[in-house]
Amino acid sequence: MGRIGMNLRGIIFDMDNTLFDFVEAKIVACTEVVSFLGAGDPGELFEYFRRETHGFENPENIKDYLFDNGLDPIQNYQRCVTIYETHKIDHIRLYPDVRETLEELNEIGLPLGIVTDANSNNARKRLEKTGLEKLVQSLTAHDMTGAKKPDHAPFKYALESMKLNASETLFVGDSLRRDIAPSKELGMMTAYAAYGDRNSAKDRTSGEYKPDRTLNNFREVLEIVRELK
């Protein structure tokens, strides 16, 4: 692993599919919506949230799905949104050892941050559900910068808010294109959360930027810290 001599002073994480399995939670939520409707396909509804039309958080994706499948959006939309949002949060599950690892990093004294494309309200709901809100000192969400990854703005905002230089920061994320490439461009060390990568083919490339480390599980973050501290 390169850059073994760096002075590690902080870690920034992506949130969804790096700390917990958000894809599975969304699939369960889509299944519950389809069950309520008595028609349709959960996988098809899930793919609507992967389109760039409205973005992965926007409930307008459900409205489009209802329209396209002749499922009466006027009568069903609000109820479907409530079902989707409720089950999406209820079924978030942390990956193994995430809480314990973050607790150990807190004991070491490393400041921890999150950069996410979710809006801050949605991000906080997910952190509260998983019990991580008190283990992370900084949150950078989409509505704070108006930009989404791989734009550099969210990463720079996080570094500034945590008073860190890129060269002394580790970034951990599950997308090669949206997490690894931009953080490498800014000079951070990177760890690719391969265990959580359920991205589309487009997001499985980092161009010329390769991760400094590939993680098979979240606990391996501690190995990097021990090597660099």
CATH number (domain holding residue 205): 3.40.50.1000
90, 118, 149 — which closes off a domain?
90
Counted domains in the chain: 2
Query: Is residue 114 located within the same domain as residue 80?
Result: no
Per-residue pLDDT at 201: 66
Residue 184 makes CB contacts below 8 A (sequence gap 6+) with 190, 206, 209, 210, 211
Query: Is residue 32 located within the same domain as residue 132?
Result: no
Per-residue pLDDT of the chain (229 residues; tens, 9 = 90+): 445 446 899 999 999 999 999 999 999 999 999 999 999 999 999 999 988 889 888 999 999 999 999 998 899 999 999 999 999 999 999 999 999 999 999 999 999 999 999 999 999 999 999 999 999 999 999 999 999 999 999 999 999 999 999 999 999 999 999 999 999 999 999 999 999 988 666 666 667 779 999 999 999 999 999 988 7
Task: Return d(Cα 166, Cα 162) in angstroms, integer.
Answer: 11
Q: Which amino acid is at 94?
A: L
Asked whether residue 2 is assigned to any structural domain, the reply reads: no
52, 73, 90 — which closes off a domain?
90
Query: Is residue 67 located within the same domain as residue 98?
Result: no
Asked whether residue 3 is assigned to any structural domain, the reply reads: no
Task: Return d(Cα 52, Cα 35) in angstroms, integer.
Answer: 25
Query: Is residue 113 located within the same domain as residue 211?
Result: yes
Per-residue pLDDT at 49: 93
Q: Is the pTM of this model over 0.85?
A: yes
Per-residue pLDDT at 193: 97
Query: Is residue 111 located within the same domain as residue 213?
Result: yes
Query: Is residue 62 located within the same domain as residue 168?
Result: no
Task: Take residue 89 and report the two structure tokens written for it.
Answer: 């949060």
Buried b (16+ CB within 10 A) or exposed e, 7-40: ebbbbbbbbbbbbbbbbebbbbbbbbbbeebeeb
Query: Is residue 174 located within the same domain as residue 99?
Result: yes
Residue 166 burial by Cβ neighbours in a 10 Å radius (0-12, 13-18, 19+): middle
90, 122, 145 — which closes off a domain?
90
Per-residue pLDDT at 2: 46
Distance of CA 132 to the CA centre of its chain: 14
Query: Is residue 190 located within the same domain as residue 135?
Result: yes
Query: Is residue 109 located within the same domain as residue 61?
Result: no
Task: Return d(Cα 176, Cα 182) in angstroms, integer.
Answer: 9
Query: Is residue 81 located within the same domain as residue 107?
Result: no
- C-alpha distances (whole Å) from 35 to each of 30, 31, 41, 131 are 9, 6, 9, 29
Domain that holds residue 65: 23-90
Asked whether residue 1 is assigned to any structural domain, the reply reads: no
Task: Return d(Cα 9, Cα 116) in angstroms, integer.
Answer: 20
Q: How far apart are the first and last CA of the chain?
A: 14
